[in-house]
């Protein structure tokens, strides 16, 4: 596999694993984050090897991660969610109204999205990141955003990117 293919796959907005319902939740949550002055980026690889569904960067450098669950089965299958907490100040779950009855962990915030709008029903507890972790996450956020923006401008540019 070419290095450029690996790099493109790493930061792809939708890699085929997201269901239409998950994409619907994501749209509403992104609008909610923007309404709270957070800038969202989807599908961000983390230093731990996990990939966050959404990372929001706040106006004062806050970092929120939102994990999207589009079905009760999706929630039951996810045992890795505590791993995300070390990469953010606040961790949320987000879902559709028809899935809201599922038992979402109390240790995380809860967002309900209908695809057009979303609402925070339970604010996530704050776990302030250490300075070095905040810097690393902010740089990761900036790199993903810059790469995606440049790929829109020049879709062939990824072929020239080195694999690190």
Asked if residue 92 has pLDDT above 50, the reply is yes
Supply the pLDDT for residue 99.
86
Supply the pLDDT for residue 163.
52
Burial state string for 16-27 with b = 16 or more CB within 10 A and e = fewer than 16: eebeebbebbbb
CA distance linking residue 20 with residue 46, whole number of Å: 24
- DSSP structural state of residue 95: E
Asked if residue 123 has pLDDT above 80, the reply is yes
Enter the pTM of the model. Answer: 0.85
CA distance linking residue 159 with residue 112, whole number of Å: 39
Q: pLDDT per residue over 142-155, tens digit each?
A: 999 999 999 999 99
In percent, the amount of the chain with pLDDT more than 70 equals 88
Supply the pLDDT for residue 9.
39
């Amino acid at each position: 596999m070419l290095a450029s293919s690996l790099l493109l796959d790493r930061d792809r907005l939708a890699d085929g694993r997201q269901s239409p319902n998950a994409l619907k939740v994501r749209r509403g949550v992104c609008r909610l984050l923007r309404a709270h002055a957070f800038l969202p980026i989807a599908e961000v690889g983390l230093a731990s090897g996990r990939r966050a569904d959404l990372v929001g960067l706040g106006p004062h450098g806050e970092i929120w991660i939102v994990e999207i669950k589009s079905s009760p089965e999706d929630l039951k299958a996810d045992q890795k969610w505590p791993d995300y907490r070390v990469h953010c100040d606040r961790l949320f779950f987000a879902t559709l109204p028809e899935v809201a009855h599922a038992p979402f962990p109390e240790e995380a915030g809860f967002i309900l999205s209908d695809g057009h709008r979303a609402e925070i029903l339970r604010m996530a507890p704050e776990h302030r990141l250490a300075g070095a972790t905040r810097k690393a996450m902010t740089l990761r956020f900036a790199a993903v955003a810059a790469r995606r923006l440049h790929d829109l401008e020049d879709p062939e540019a990824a072929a020239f990117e080195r694999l690190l």
